[in-house]
Amino acid sequence: MNEALPEWPAFGLADDVRPALRAAAATGKPLVLATLTALGGGGPRPVGTQMVFGHGVVSGYFSGGCVESDVAAHAQACLADGAPRTLVYGEGSPWPDIQLLCGARIEIFLETVAADDPALAELLAAQNGRRPCAWLSDGRVRRCVAPEAAQPWAGAIRRDYEPTPRLAVVGSDPAALAIAGLGAQSGFETTLIRPKGPETPPPLAGVAYRREEAGQALADLGLDPWTAVAVASHDLVTDQSALLTALPSRAAYVGLLGARSRLPERLAKLRALGVSEAAIGRLHAPIGLDIGGKAPWEVAVSVIGEIMALRHARLSGSTSTSPPAGTAAAPGGRRSSASAPAKTLTSEES
């Protein structure tokens, strides 16, 4: 692993380094896992951000180009001697010539991990099984355990992992294709559901495809707390089937594309079929942040943006479902659940 970093930092587009860990381990050679452990003065990446350096594998970024090449050089040294190390950039750094343009101070912990390390195997197994886990390491001893069992020891870092976010999109029109495509590009494990659709899968990279009845497909997929469901079929029967499965489930997000004028009627049918008020109150309808656009990619941006905003609000402990501070919602911003029709129905269509 002595190659220079690529001129175009596409290696930084993926936020989750577990696929890179898997690829690096598959080579049978040791790799270096770098973790941002401390941040002062603000910065482009939060504590817990990681990079992976392996044989022919690089993934992640810390600073947008300020330190990555230097971290890569230290990773090479880490591989050579096997010793863990902590790098400091910014105030107090032994390398004053390397500065972050944002003025931040960051600390990055580097450790060499063998391809057959049991903790790494457990981390990847937890990802496969969609189980949360915690990585504990002092650079020489490491463990991967359930979060509730994590007990860091002196000198050890802790980095928690959730299952990979997942997105199920029900529909087949250009808006549904755009939502699925953008979801896959944004790091979601994405499945497009088109009941009785063609056998040929959609021409979307990284998107799985199912042709069963919508409710059955969602049930088979398994809707856990890290799954979002976007219902966008423009077919009342298909939408209803999907909602009957999604709303009572543990899915983190359920959104419905459609005209505001039809929403009371659709909610009434769900109530008549026994869906509880609590479940209906989880519905985001009309779907997405109100960004004022209705073209397919605009709808996709609004939907993925809403899902991400809610996910980050949950991770930060916030109960807000408003657009993040500094974003421009349209007048009368459409931002509440379907249990509050007076606040929700502010747009003719999503």
Give pLDDT tens digits for 73-128.
Answer: 999 999 999 999 999 998 888 887 787 777 788 999 999 999 999 999 999 999 99
Enumerate the β-bridge partners of residue 283. 254
pLDDT in tens, 31-75: 999 999 999 988 889 999 999 999 999 999 998 778 999 999 999
Mean per-residue pLDDT, 248-264: 95
pLDDT at 327: 31
Q: What share of the chain has pLDDT > 90, as a percent? A: 79
Query: CB–CB of 188/228 below 8 Å?
Result: yes
pLDDT of 205 reads 97
Does the pLDDT value for residue 20 go beyond 50? yes
Tell me the pLDDT band of 348, cut-offs 50, 70 and 90: very low
Q: Is 46 left (phi over 0), alpha (psi -120 to 50) or beta?
A: beta
pLDDT at site 117: 98
pLDDT at 4: 81
| Count of helices and strands (H, E) across the chain | 10, 14
pLDDT tens column, 128-147? 999 999 999 999 999 999 99
Q: Provide the token pair at 271.
A: 């109530």
CA–CA separation, 53 and 42 (whole Å): 25
DSSP state of 349: B
218, pLDDT greater than 50: yes
Residue 66 · residue 98 · CB < 8 Å? yes
**Residues sharing a CB contact under 8 Å with residue 179, sequence separation 6 or more, in sequence order:** 167, 169, 171, 230, 232, 299, 300, 303, 304
Flag whether pLDDT at 344 surpasses 80. Answer: no
Strands of 283-284's sheet in order across: 207-210, 189-193, 166-170, 227-231, 253-256, 283-284
pLDDT of residue 318: 54
Q: Give the type of residue at 244.
A: L
Q: 109 and 37 in contact (C-beta within 8 Å)? A: yes
DSSP 8-state symbol, 259: B
Report whether pLDDT(15) > 80.
Answer: yes
